[in-house]
Amino acid sequence: MDIIELKKRLTEALSEKILELAQLGKGRVLSVWVEAKHINEVALLLRNESYLGFSVLENFFVAQLDSAFLLSYYLRAPKTGMELILRASIVPPNPEGLAKAPSIREVWPMAEHQERESAELFGIIFYLGLSPADKKEIKHSFLPPGWQGFPFRKEYKFPESFSGIQHQRDGL
Amino acid sequence: MESSIYDSTLGRVLRWARYSSFWYISVGGGCCADEPLHTVGCRYDLERFGCVPQSEPRQVDLLIVNGVITYKAAPYLRAFYDQMLAPKYVMSIGSCANCGGPFSSDISYSVVPGINKIIPVDVYVPGCPPRPEAIMNGLLSLQEKIRGHHRTEKKIN
Ligand code: SF4
């Protein structure tokens, strides 16, 4: 299967859910942009349909563009060797607030670790099911307990001190 | 130990025993953690100064901290230091442990800018990472400090 055929199959399978279909990396990789609320449906289709077969999630990362968070899922189909980038974006309600995104850990279980990391560092709640759970806080497993704020956000201000240690070099 | 208290033959013998048999433990938080391994290896042979690596904080006199210490690691380092029995000495190796180094306080949110904010430090060894000779020099400075010769405090005109 080459990239033109994959493009055709994706357009047939996802038709109205696609916001943008572009070729990246000198035209060798296809990127599909969908709405965040559809991500689970699209992910299930990409994994289960035998003619697509994207059963491996190679990487997942979050990036911040202005106020929006861009979620990128790097997929691979082991049978055909094709790669695909699935993208969605979410916007937090206010700059300090928690953003909410559907979790894909039921489709690709290896996403769980990376989702937890992004949740802590970007302040995103990844919810299972159809609607966001009433979760107000994110459990800390990478940052020390009691840490305030989300360090990877652009608006993040470094702490003055943490647990009694001044966050400044001596003599400055 | 203040030299004025033990300024007798016994004190000198005690100090001699202490500075010539450093049993140390190394806490590694970054890339500098490789350097004490080189230093204790066959080419530089730290054991000729009486240094023996240990694995139990209650049996050591010297704590070597090297590399990045984050805010998450800070309470554990403090607990580690508290477990050591007096007299105890601390050597800080590498710019990260000395002052935050490349992860200084205006670049990194998570690295403690200098372990002297957590535990008292006797000798700082600068470098990123310091060479084994620099670590040996730091050790000799510490020996002289215990002997009562404050080489590290000498002023150069
Ligand atoms: S001082 Fe340099 S070599 Fe040592 S831990 Fe820091 S970055 Fe690594």
pLDDT, tens only, A103-127? 888 889 988 889 999 999 998 988 8
Compare CB distances from A165 to B74, B104, B109 and report the shortest one's residue. B74
Q: What is the model's pLDDT at position B152?
A: 54
Q: What is the model's pLDDT at position B6?
A: 53
Mean pLDDT (chain B, rounded)? 87
The CA B23 to ligand 1 mean position distance, Å, reads 24
Residues A130, A36 contacting (CB under 8 angstroms): no
> Could you tell me the pLDDT band of residue B111, with boundaries at 50, 70 and 90?
very high
Rounded to whole angstroms, how far apart are CA atoms A55 and A77? 6
Does the pLDDT at position B144 exceed 70? yes
ipTM greater than 0.85, yes or no? no
Q: What is the model's pLDDT at position A22?
A: 83
Lowest mean pLDDT among A125-129, A151-155, B38-42, B140-144: A125-129
A54 token code pair = 């994207």
Q: What is the model's pLDDT at position B28?
A: 87
> Looking at CA atoms only, how far is residue B155 from chain A in angstroms?
19
Question: Hey, what amino acid is at A45?
Answer: L
A92 contacts: CB under 8 Å, gap ≥ 6: A67, A69, A98, A99, A123
The CA B129 to ligand 1 mean position distance, Å, reads 5
Domain ranges of chain B: 15-148
- Asked: is A3-166 a CATH 3.40.50.720 domain? The reply is no
Q: Is B107 in the pocket of ligand 1 (CB under 6 A)?
A: no
Q: Is B128 in the pocket of ligand 1 (CB under 6 A)?
A: yes
Does the pLDDT at position B68 exceed 90? yes
Rounded to whole angstroms, how far apart are CA atoms A68 and A132? 18
Contact criterion met (CB < 8 Å) for B72 and A144: yes
Mean pLDDT of A89-94: 88
Is-cis flag, bond preceding A109, omega within 30?
no
Residue in chain A nearest B71 by alpha carbon: A144
Residues B125, B93 contacting (CB under 8 angstroms): yes
- Asked: is B15-148 a CATH 3.40.50.12280 domain? The reply is yes
Q: Is B32 in the pocket of ligand 1 (CB under 6 A)?
A: yes
Mutation site, B71, B99, B112, interface A, largest A CB count within 10 A? B71
Tens-place pLDDT, residues A38-82: 888 888 888 888 788 889 999 999 999 988 999 999 999 888 888
Does the pLDDT at position B52 exceed 70? yes
Q: What is the model's pLDDT at position B121?
A: 93
Instruction: Provide DSSP, chain B.
Output: --TTTT-SHHHHHHHHHHHT--EEEEEE-SGGGGHHHHHHSTTT-GGGGT-EE-S-GGG-SEEEEES--BTTTHHHHHHHHHHSPSS-EEEEESHHHHH-TTS-TTT-SSB-S-GGGTS--SEEE-SSSPPHHHHHHHHHHHHHHHHT--GGG----
Rounded to whole angstroms, how far apart are CA atoms B16 and B145? 12
Mean pLDDT (chain A, rounded)? 86
Mutate to test the pocket of ligand 1, among B26, B65, B68, B111 (most ligand atoms within 8 A of CB): B68
Mean pLDDT of B38-59: 90
pTM: 0.82
Residue in chain A nearest B100 by alpha carbon: A169
